[in-house]
Amino acid sequence: MGTIIVIYVALFVLIIVSLWKIFTKAGKPGWACIIPIYNIIVLLEIVGKPWWWLLLMLVPVVNLVLAIWVLNLLSKSFGHEVGFTLGLIFLGFIFIPILGLGESKYVGPAGKAQAPAAPPAA
């Protein structure tokens, strides 16, 4: 029983540290990840969505769709594709630390900076 609690606390601390780094990489204050409700508002800013999406997350079933959508946008905001989004959905305890503590760089809300530059006019 004690071992399970130690593993749970270690995983909890790992996720908090990883979210802190994700927020910091996106130019937001890291401490925002530990404040309930405010952390969702900041996450929505990171992925480029309006704050009122938080209100939509209170609607049953809609919240599941929006949660998956926000994870997809978070993945794109750090330059990753759909495969990484699936990892965030199904194996979040592994992929959140990869996003926060790994080499991923924030490229803008939903990857705006990923768009190729237009060729110069002739």
Report domain extents, the chain: 2-113
Whether 117 shows a pLDDT value over 70: the answer reads: no
Lookup: tokens for 35: 């404040």
pLDDT level of residue 119 (50, 70, 90 thresholds): low
User: How much is the pLDDT for 110?
Assistant: 79
Are 110 and 48 a contacting pair, CB within 8 Å? yes
Residues ≥6 apart with Cβ < 8 Å to 44: 50, 51, 53, 54, 70
Distinct helix (H) and strand (E) counts, the chain: 6, 0
Which is nearest to 46 in space by CA: 68, 63, 71? 71
Q: What is the DSSP letter of 1?
A: -
Q: What is the pTM of this model?
A: 0.85
Whether 1 shows a pLDDT value over 90: the answer reads: no
Mean pLDDT of 39-59: 95
User: How much is the pLDDT for 122?
Assistant: 59
Q: Between these two residues, 1 and 122, which has the higher pLDDT value? A: 1
Lookup: tokens for 103: 């080499």
Q: Between these two residues, 119 and 100, which has the higher pLDDT value? A: 100
Whether 115 shows a pLDDT value over 70: the answer reads: no
Q: What is the DSSP letter of 44?
A: H
